[in-house]
Amino acid sequence: MNIASITLVSLGVFFLLMGAIGILRFPDFYTRMHAAGKCDTLGSLLVVAGLAVYNGVSIGSAKILFIAIFIFLTSPTATHAIARAAFKNELPLWTRGNDG
């Protein structure tokens, strides 16, 4: 049980770290939002799942799984809404000559 929870939490931290690196390295807002949306959702879900596994079968695990469902539903929706607002406000896309 501990090995499974450590593995899930470690994978979650890895994906969260990759998302942070993607936010720093990608050139424009849209690619950064993609890194943030995908990696943060998956990383958070893996960390929360690892905590639920570590906690065992209890009411606490059920609450943690409700948090995971909430993250699964709201994080991609929020990322999409932010990217759509940027697109509607005509935030420019990255082009190769625009490293600025």
98 belongs to a structural domain: no
pLDDT at 95: 78
DSSP state for residue 93 in the 8-state scheme: P
User: Measured between alpha carbons, how far is 42 from 37 in angstroms, rounded to an integer?
Assistant: 9
What is this structure's pTM?
0.83
Find all residues with CB under 8 Å of 92, minimum gap 6, and list them: 28, 98
99 belongs to a structural domain: no
94 belongs to a structural domain: no
* Number of separate domains in the chain: 1
31 belongs to a structural domain: yes
Per-residue pLDDT of 49-96, as tens digits, reads 999 999 989 999 999 999 999 999 999 999 999 999 999 998 888 877
Residue 42 structural domain: 2-88
